[in-house]
Structures are given as C-alpha cells and as structure tokens.
Amino acid sequence: MKGKLIQDKYRILKTLGRSAFSETLLATDNSRFYSRRRYIIKRFRPILGNREAKNIRRLFYQEARVLKRLSGKNRQIPRLYEYFMHGEDFYLVREWIAGLTLKQLVEQKGPLSTEEVEQILNSVLSFLKYIHSYGIVYRQLKPSTIILRQDSWLPASWQNYLPVPIYFGGVKDLETQVDNHQQYNPAVPYRRDYIPPEQKQGKSVFASDLYSLGLTAIYLLTGKHPGEFSLDPRSKKLIWHQEIPKQKIHLVRVIERAIRPKMSDRYSSAEEMLQALNSVPINLAMPVIEPAPKQIKFTSEFKVISLLSGTALGILALILVIVNSDLIQLAKRDGEQYLNKDSANIVTDTLTTTSSLLPLKQPATTTNIPAFPLGMTQQNIEEKLGEPTMNSSGYWPNSRALLYQDVVPRQISLGYLTDIDSTKVRQAEIAFSRSVDLEAIKQQAKQLMQDNYSPEIEHYLEQIYFKTSSSHEFQVNNIEGVVQQNPEDHIYLAIWDREFH
C-alpha cells in the first residue's frame, strides 16, 4: 500500500501494523507543498457479509465525533484531524507522535524503578480519568501503545516524561462489533495478555483499562509480559512479586487489586486507583510523625516584665543562699558533735536507702506484646491495646486499618486490617526495629502466626535479621504473607487470609 493516495491527499509512507479487521498507516499530506507533517491513519476494513454494517457505520461516526471533541484539549490525547469513509472503508486521521514507547524504553534501559513506575501510573491514570468522564473505555492499554513524547522526554529527568496512549484508532463499540467477526491468530505473541477476561467476551468497563494498566506496570517493573509468569494454582493470581529486587509493598498492593480477575474486586474508577496510589499508607513502614510544638511568641511588654521579675527573683535567691549557708554551718557543727558522741552506734545502709528512693529503670520488655492472630475482633484488640494511633479505611474494600505505633517505644509497632462486617482481623502486621533481639522477634512471630509458624518462616526471619536477604513471600495453609526489610530498615512481617486480597 506504500505510495498510495487516499482522497488525493494522504500519501501512505508505510504500514505500521495490521490485524484481521484494520490497518495502521503512516502517511504524509500530499496536498501541502514541502509539508513534513506526518499522520497516523487507522483504516477499518469492510466486513463481508456483516448484517450489522449499517449499525457499525453509525457507531463509527458517533464515537469519532466524541474523539474529535476531545482532540486538542489534553496533551495526552493525540489530536484527531478528521474521519471519513472512503469506499467501504472507515478512516481516522490523527496526530503522529515521535518518541519511544514504554516497551521500547524497557528493552533499551531495562526494568524501571518503583518511583519511575509510580510516576508513569499517575500520569496515565490522570489520562484515563479524563477520557472515562466522557464514557470512553480505551481498551488497548499495553506497553507498546503508550509513547513518551520526544519533545518532552529528557533522559536525565523523569519529571519531563509525558506518557501518551497512542491507540485511539479503535473506539469501544466499533471494536466490539467488529471483533466478533475476527479469528484468533495464535502466531501473534502476547496478543491477549494485557486484555482482561471480560473484554475477551466482548464486554469492557472502566475497570478493564485499570486491569491492563496494572499488567503494564508489572512489565515496567520486571521487563516481562504477563504470559511469562506462572499462575498460583489455587488463587489463580499472577506470581510476579519475587521478580522485584526491592519490593515496595504499597505499590504491589495497588497493582494486585487492579489486576484481579473479577471486575467487582478491582478499583471501580481511575480516580479511586489514583487515591490509593497516592495515599499515605497506614503501614508499619511509615512512622507516625508528631506535629511540631507551637512556638509561643511574646510581646515586648511581656519581655520587659519578665526581665524585671527575673531580676527580683535573682536578688531573693541570693538572700536565701546566704541564709542557707549560715544554716549549713550550724548543722555541720551540730553534726560533728553528734558523730563524736554516738559514732559507735551508727550503721551505714547507703545502698538500701538509695535503691528505695531511686529505683533502677527496667528495660522495655517485648515478651508480653499481644500480637493478635487472624480471626480476633477489633473489640478484642482495643480492649487490650486501647485506641489505635491511626484508624482509617483499609487498602481493600470493606476493611478498616488500625495502627498501633510504638507499642514498645522505638522497638515494636503493630497494624491490623479488619473486615467491616465481621470486625475480625483479616491481615496482621508487625514491625521490629534493629534494636530488638532475634529471639524476641521469633517469639512475637510465633504468637502472631500460631500453628502456621514453621522452620521456614524462622529461616526467613534470620535472613532478614542478618541482612542476607531483603524479602521473602510465603504461603502456609490458608494464609499468605511476607517477611522483608522495609525502607526504614525495620524487620517487617505481614500475614493475611488468602481470600482477603
């Protein structure tokens, strides 16, 4: 098709992609002399024998008008120049954006850091929030369809990256209608890896885009496509956490919820996922920061009065010192007379007297900290520990997060996620500072895990304690968990019901 003219205007330079029902073309404007502007043209091929052709044509114009209305209002949306029919084919002509796709970036640079991935997620989620407000589901989010604008992409500063989803040639209802007539091509690798289960059945909702974005984030963190990971045989979850050298548990939790197989278990909107991503995690890795005490400011009149009062008090103190000196001399003379008279009857007991007046301060103990196991109620916890340091909505739907910071000052903190309906603990967390001795850590872990504690868990604790490893995940019976060194260099242990996340 190279060199072909469309509507005597657009000259095709090359074909960028092709599927069973569409083509993506790179073109230039032949009607403009010396024009160097390039365009992306999405061509939808005719579907022979399709009784819905008239309805598809209506949907094409309906959705194209929506995209045209969005064009130019957001720099993350490629500008749509025009749309038309040529013969039996549908065409969308949009802006061509030079730059690297996220897939190309990872292939060149390698997996990205958690901070870089969070920044990209924030940007793409803002884009999704915007288009979802118009009722549009993007449907094609994956590393190869998100490009970094070359005019704002600076390798030295990730703050200048602007991820732009470049697909926008297929609109939701049109794709759904046409997709029912295409055949699956097994020769195309990873063709459906980023597509959520419901989309394979012709249904797409806002949470479908969040699912694809979650899998894209995993690719950015690991450099691996979803099809390269194995699935947990029981939970059917993707096993990908161990691929991250320095795991950031808050980011992992956000991604995990986005990629749940059931739509109802995911975030319902881009706004909700944005809030979760940017919320301050009620997490034992995050110490509670006490507010700074307010400074008291004094007026000049108050300062003068204070100075005069201080002078008067100083004079009074001097008088008392002189009087006290005379009293001491008198007491000394009386004491010497007493000692000379009864020295044989005096028995010293200095140690006993000092101990009774100034008792020795005992070190904080960690042996009686109630690290409640799963299944306990919020009432049980509050009866033992009192009001939590922080109490707010949990990470997961229908849950509350309770944080007990510094149960043993500067040594141990506890955290719990409870089910709102039953008020039972579904997730428990405990963090130890490096000053806590290994045996005390093991003791608390046994109390937390009870019958689920094993030599394997003990081995993980030892590895984190001696810094021969940074993170371990585990599954025991009906619980899952993680032992890791958190960013504050604390030893962090968390367990939860398998069905909770």
pLDDT band at residue 179, thresholds of 50, 70 and 90? very low
State how far the Cα of 79 lies from the Cα of 63, in Å rounded to an integer.
15
State how far the Cα of 403 lies from the Cα of 395, in Å rounded to an integer.
13
What's the whole-number mean pLDDT along residues 222-236?
84
Note the pLDDT of residue 410: 87
State how far the Cα of 192 lies from the Cα of 63, in Å rounded to an integer.
24
Q: Which residue has the higher pLDDT, 150 or 482?
A: 482
Q: Which of 183-192, 205-214, 234-243 comes out lowest in average pLDDT?
A: 183-192
Judge whether 166 and 97 are in contact, CB under 8 Å: yes
Note the pLDDT of residue 340: 44
pLDDT band at residue 153, thresholds of 50, 70 and 90? very low
Question: Of 409, 468, 401, 463, which is closest to residue 436 (Cα–Cα)?
Answer: 409
pLDDT band at residue 364, thresholds of 50, 70 and 90? very low
Judge whether 336 and 342 are in contact, CB under 8 Å: no
234 pLDDT more than 80: no
Domains contained in the chain, CATH given: 5-95 (3.30.200.20), 99-278 (1.10.510.10), 378-497 (no CATH)
The dihedral sign for the CA sequence 149, 150, 152, 158: positive
pLDDT tens digits along 78-105: 888 888 888 778 888 988 888 889 999 9
pLDDT tens digits along 256-278: 999 988 898 899 999 999 989 98
The dihedral sign for the CA sequence 295, 299, 300, 305: negative
233 pLDDT more than 70: yes
Note the pLDDT of residue 223: 93
pLDDT band at residue 44, thresholds of 50, 70 and 90? confident
Note the pLDDT of residue 134: 84
What's the whole-number mean pLDDT along residues 45-71?
70
Which single residue is written with the structure tokens 């699956």?
A: 184
Q: Which residue has the higher pLDDT, 446 or 182?
A: 446
What's the whole-number mean pLDDT along residues 285-303?
43
Q: For residue 81, report the phi and psi dihedrals to the nearest 5 degrees.
A: -85, -45
Q: Which of 84-93, 139-148, 207-216, 369-378 has the highest mean pLDDT?
A: 207-216
State how far the Cα of 364 lies from the Cα of 458, in Å rounded to an integer.
24
pLDDT tens digits along 395-453: 666 788 889 988 888 899 999 989 888 899 999 999 999 989 898 899 999 988 998 99
What's the whole-number mean pLDDT along residues 150-168?
61
Number of alpha helices (DSSP H) and beta strands (DSSP E) in the chain: 13, 16
Judge whether 416 and 381 are in contact, CB under 8 Å: yes
State how far the Cα of 423 lies from the Cα of 419, in Å rounded to an integer.
5
Q: Which of 81-85, 326-330, 392-396 comes out lowest in average pLDDT?
A: 326-330
State how far the Cα of 26 lies from the Cα of 38, in Å rounded to an integer.
7
Average pLDDT of the residues of the chain: 75
Secondary structure (3-state) at 379? helix
pLDDT band at residue 312, thresholds of 50, 70 and 90? low
Q: Which residues contact 475 (CB under 8 A, 6 or more apart)?
A: 481, 498
Amino acid sitting at position 364: A
Q: Which of 119-123, 299-303, 360-364, 481-485 has the highest mean pLDDT?
A: 119-123
Question: Of 65, 483, 24, 20, which is closest to residue 284 (Cα–Cα)?
Answer: 483
Note the pLDDT of residue 121: 94
Judge whether 191 and 182 are in contact, CB under 8 Å: no
State how far the Cα of 311 lies from the Cα of 496, in Å rounded to an integer.
65
What's the whole-number mean pLDDT along residues 310-337?
52
The dihedral sign for the CA sequence 41, 42, 46, 51: negative
Secondary structure (3-state) at 480? strand
State how far the Cα of 143 lies from the Cα of 213, in Å rounded to an integer.
9
124 pLDDT more than 90: yes
55 pLDDT more than 60: yes
Note the pLDDT of residue 395: 66
